[in-house]
Structures are given as C-alpha cells and as structure tokens.
Chain A
Amino acid sequence: MIHAEGLRKRYGEVDALKGVDLDVPQGTVCGLLGPNGAGKTTMVRILTTLLRPDGGTARVAGCDVVADADRLRHRIGLAGQHAAVDELLTGRRNLVLFGRLYHLPRRTARRRADELLERFGLAEAANRPVKTYSGGMRRRLDLAASLIVAPPVLFLDEPTTGLDPRSRLALWDLLRELVSDGTTVLLTTQYLDEADRLADQIVVVDSGTVAASGSPYELKGKVGGGRVSIAFREVCDLSAGVEVVRGVLPGEPEIDRAERRLTVAVEDGAASLIRVAAALDAARIDVDDLGLRRPTLDEVFLQLTEVTEVNAA
C-alpha cells in the first residue's frame, strides 16, 4: 500500500533522507521510529505530497507521490504534530469545511461530519468553537478531519505527543479499529511503547537512513539474545550470585540491590539460562525468580541509534 525506494531529500547542506526504502502492506501499521531530526517527518511529508523528494520514488495507494499527487490526495488522510484545525470555528464547521474541500456535496459533508463527531465522542462539543476544546479533544477532531473521506491510507505524525494517558489509550483503540477495517497506517512516534503496541512493523530511522526494521519481536531479537534476569531472596545471595554468574557468562552483570536483582546481557539466550541455572543450583544459592527476557524496545532503540551516531562521528 505504501512503497518507497531510495527516497532522498536535502535541505541546503543537510541530508535529511539518504535513500530510504519502505514497504507497508495493506491493513497493517508501520511505526516510523527515530530520534528528533532523524527524518521521520520529512518521510511523512514526502509520502503525503507536501514535499517533493530529491531522489527515489514512492507510491501510495497505487499513486505516484509526485506524478499522481492530485489523485493521491483523495486517498490519504494526514494528522500532523499540531492539531491542524481552525480554532475559531466549531468542531462541526471544521469537519464540514474539510469535507467540502474534498469536494463532497454539502449534504454528504454534513452527514459525514456528524458521523465522525459521534464516533470520536465530540457530539456534545460539536457546536462549540475549537478554542474551548481540551488537548485530547483537539487531537480527536484532528484525527476525525483526516478520516473524512475514509482514506485507505492514513498518516499520523506523532499522534499522541502531549496527550494524557487516558486520551492516548482511547486514540490507540480508535486506530486499532480503523486497521481492523482495512486501513493502512503509517505513524511516527517517539514513544517506544506506542510502536510496540500498535505497529506490525517498525522502521527505525536515524540520520536519514533505515537503521533497522522488522516486527517489534524481531527487532528485540536483533540486538542480541536477550537478558538473563535473576532475583534473589537475600542480599548475601545476591553477592554470591554475582560471582557465580561471572564464572559462567561473559557479560558483566548489572546489579540492583534494592530489588536484589541481577541482569546480564547474553548472546545465546536459552543456553546461557540453562548454564546459569545449573551453576546456581550447584552453588546452592536460593533464587526467587529466574528468567530470560527479550530486551525492551527502549534498549533496542538506544543501541541501534547509538551505533549509527558513533558511525557518523
């Protein structure tokens, strides 16, 4: 549904994108993840026809983003970092306005506005000016505006930045609903848990290139086998445990005294876990909890973007 090859963009001296590929199948969510200035927004702006790429090609919903821009604009919705709605107009008037600008007949535009206001829990506030809305309500209106023509492809640039947790969860639910109806979503985010929960595929961009991509599960596997985590009953067991772990595993354990927990990064997850379990048993150390966990997406993200930063320097 979204297919990009070798996208490049330069702003003066800065290479914002240095040849990015992207492939998002229909009905899935792709999370574009990266630090500030990585090129996420540039990517979205190119795919939504707001910016012309300097090189490479991209097709969205079967339309070339440069040659077929006008046809494409009928098939996409965009919700940006700011709630791009008219503060002075009422919620309903905003949606009718945007509907009219999609060339919907007046009556259809009104009906669609009312449907969306209902669905996004804004029916009661429909006739109030947007400047009286809370941040969450504005974002919902913004999202509603991007869904007026029920576009097959939806672009969301940091949709939950600055939202309170409740509004965030509500927005996630709405997105899941849209995706189950077949909408393809590309979202950029700085929140790893958001990508972890919503995205079928994550593309980590850093300094204008793709640092890694895959499902959240695959990405977590990419940065090494995982972490062996051991919790002990007593503090003295912890000290003894550290010695045992050092004896059997190459990694240096991280120690959390308050939790009486030890964590160590390993290459070959399960095999290391078995070796540690055997060694602890042989040393007769009481263990409260012993497990192997995949790295969190935060750890993946930091590791991936750190590597490219070092390379860049």
Chain B
Amino acid sequence: MTVLEPPATRAGRLGWAVIDSLTIAGRTYSRLRAQPGELAGFLVFPIIMTVLFGYVFGSAITLPGGGDYRSYLMPGIFMQVAALTAVSAATSVSEDMALGLVDRFRAQPIARSAVLAGRSVADLSIHLLSVAMMALCGVLIAGWRPHGSVSETLAGFGLLALFAYAMIWIGTYIGLFVKNGAQADAATFGWLFPLTFLANAFVPLEGLPSWLRPIADWNPMSAVVSAARLLFGNPGSAAASWPLRHPVTATICWSVLILSVFVPLAVRRYRTATSR
C-alpha cells in the first residue's frame, strides 16, 4: 500500500481539516443511529419542559406587563435547551477520552482541530433538530407564534444556535478534564441547570431580591432569552440593565467571547491530553 503524504500547501491542509471534521461528524450520526433511544431523549426533553412549564406552572404565573405566559416561556425553553448542549458535549468527549479512542485519533494523521470541530458541528446539528421539534410543539401545543418578520424569526433562531454552539465548546473543554461520563454530567449540568433558572427564562426578574437581581441581569442566558423574545415578538419584561436593553448585541458579544476563550483552550488541551 502506498503511503500518503500530508498536503504541502495551507489550502490543502485546510481541505483535509474540513474532510476530517466531516468524517468525525459522520461518526456522531452513526452513533445516534446505533442508539435511537439517545436521540429520542434529545427530542423528548424539550417537549416535556414545554408541557411542564406551560401547563403546570403556566396557570399560576401572571406576567407583570400582561401577555400570554406560554408565549413568554417558549424563548426561555429554547435558551435552556441551547445551554444544556454543553452537557452532552462534555459527556461524549469524556467517554472518548476514557476509552483511549482519543489516543488513536491523535496517532492518526488528522488535523489537530478536526476531532473537536467535527464533534461540535454534529452536536449543533442534532441540537437544531431538537429545536425544530420544540418549535413545532410550541406552535401545536402551547399556541406559541413568532410575530416578527421571517428574517427576524430566522435571526432569533440564529442567535440561539450561536449561543448553543458556544455552550458546546464550554462542554467540550470540561469533557477533556473529567474522567468519565458521570463526572462530565455533574461538572456541567450541576451548575448550568440552576443557572438557567437564575435568568429571565421562566419568571420575570422584577420579583427577584435585589442582591440576586444583578446576577440575573448580567447572566448571558438572560440576554439570549431577551434577544429571542425581541426577535420573535413575544412578550417580555422591562429591561433594567445594559445587556437586556441591547440583547442582540449582548448575545453576540457573550457568544463570541465564550468561543474565543474556549475553542483555543479546548484545542490546546486536546493536543496534550492523555487518556489516563
């Protein structure tokens, strides 16, 4: 068998990096096909959240500014599911590390960033699938409607996807440190889930005690939810802080900041990571 040589040009290397990323993404899809239960989990969790909050709590919560609570809620749930992409990213990366699969990848002539990049793209596409499911449920079950123009609606989903992608990289970085899937879950879900409640996702911030209020105001998740509400034309609440008065800018800033910190950190960690 002839030995392949790595491409000599920058463009050639980039081409290989893209192909490698797609191959790795393909692996993630094959894994999902092998365990349909996992995929069902991704899709069912958002539906449960929609029903649970919309009907169980929805009847007891009235918005200070008026408006339908279930329409208020949907952008919050979109954001929560986007934030929790970090959990599955961390779990799957840590499992590869524990299996020694990462060693095999690293001893192969794969572009250094491709394993993580391919994975993040696959995770994002799965996330988008579950967002589509949720939007459908929202429309059918909760009576949710985006009231903005088509481009505003798409921009809203685009911002949510950008935030999800940033969260995937936080999860990826954490996944490179922990020893197994259970630890990965604890090291992400453990702080992320409570944090999604310390935001304007489910309740208006007006009712929060004054010492908690700044945290919720500056929580990136609040900005994401406000941006989505703004672009979808769903009811929101009065904005007191800068990020909530400029939620679109704030969401983009937060996401770009997270990506510019965690992508280089994760890639660097991956280069030197060992499976034990």
A246: chain B residues within 8 A (beta carbon): none
Q: Is the CB of B16 within 8 A of A98?
A: no
Q: Is the CB of B27 within 8 A of A86?
A: yes
* Beta-carbon contacts under 8 Å, B186-225 to A: none
**Distance in Å: Cβ of B231 to nearest Cβ of chain A:** 38
B101: chain A residues within 8 A (beta carbon): 84-86
Q: Is the CB of A70 within 8 A of B30?
A: no
Q: Is the CB of A97 within 8 A of B103?
A: no
Q: Mark A48-73, 1 if CB is under 8 A from B, else 0.
A: 11110000000000000000001101
Q: Is the CB of A50 within 8 A of B107?
A: yes
B106: chain A residues within 8 A (beta carbon): 49-50
Q: Mark B17-61, 1 if CB is under 8 A from A, else 0.
A: 001100110110011001100000000000000000000000000
Q: Is the CB of A89 within 8 A of B108?
A: no
A233 at the interface (CB under 8 A from B): no
Q: Is the CB of A89 within 8 A of B107?
A: no
Q: Number of residues in B with C-beta < 8 Å to the partner?
A: 29
Q: Is the CB of B27 within 8 A of A80?
A: no
* Stretch with Cβ within 8 A of A (4 or more), from B3-11, B69-77, B154-162: B3-11
A70 CA to B4 CA, complexed, in Å? 11
Q: Is the CB of A70 within 8 A of B6?
A: yes
A50: chain B residues within 8 A (beta carbon): 103, 106-107, 274
**Distance in Å: Cβ of A50 to nearest Cβ of chain B:** 6
Q: Closest A residue to B102 by CB, please name it.
A: A84
Q: Mark A71-82, 1 if CB is under 8 A from B, else 0.
A: 101111010111
Q: Is the CB of B107 within 8 A of A78?
A: yes
B275 contacts which of A73, A82, A97, A101 (Cβ < 8 Å)?
A82
Q: Closest A residue to B34 by CB, please name it.
A: A88
Q: Closest A residue to B115 by CB, please name it.
A: A101
A81 contacts which of B19, B26, B100 (Cβ < 8 Å)?
B100
Given known A-B contacts A78-B104, A103-B16, A89 and B4 have beta carbons under 8 A apart: no
A93 CA to B31 CA, complexed, in Å? 10
B105 at the interface (CB under 8 A from A): yes
Q: Is the CB of B27 within 8 A of A102?
A: no
B129 at the interface (CB under 8 A from A): no
**Distance in Å: Cβ of B195 to nearest Cβ of chain A:** 31
A244 at the interface (CB under 8 A from B): no
Q: Is the CB of B99 within 8 A of A82?
A: yes
B26: chain A residues within 8 A (beta carbon): 97
Q: Is the CB of A89 within 8 A of B19?
A: no
A298 CA to B31 CA, complexed, in Å? 45
Q: Closest B residue to A112 by CB, please name it.
A: B1
B142 at the interface (CB under 8 A from A): no
Q: Is the CB of A149 within 8 A of B34?
A: no
B109 at the interface (CB under 8 A from A): yes
A104 CA to B16 CA, complexed, in Å? 11
Q: Mark B76-104, 1 if CB is under 8 A from A, else 0.
A: 00000000000000000000000111011
Q: Which of B27, B105, B110, B275 has the most CB of A within 10 A?
A: B27
A145: chain B residues within 8 A (beta carbon): 104
A101 CA to B99 CA, complexed, in Å? 18
Q: Closest B residue to A151 by CB, please name it.
A: B3
Q: Is the CB of B6 within 8 A of A71?
A: yes
A75 CA to B107 CA, complexed, in Å? 10
B109 contacts which of A74, A90, A146 (Cβ < 8 Å)?
A74
Given known A-B contacts A70-B6, A88-B34, A129-B34, A98 and B27 have beta carbons under 8 A apart: no
Q: Name 8 A/B residue pairs within 8 A (Cβ), A-sorted.
A: A75-B3, A80-B103, A84-B103, A85-B99, A97-B26, A97-B27, A103-B4, A149-B1
- Which A residues contact B (CB, under 8 angstroms)? 45, 48-51, 70-71, 73-76, 78, 80-90, 93, 97-98, 100-104, 129, 145-146, 149-150, 152
Q: A85-B99, A101-B24 are in contact. List 18 more A-B contacts (CB 8 A).
A: A50-B103, A73-B109, A74-B6, A76-B107, A80-B103, A80-B104, A80-B275, A82-B100, A84-B101, A86-B31, A86-B99, A89-B30, A97-B26, A101-B23, A102-B109, A103-B4, A103-B16, A145-B104
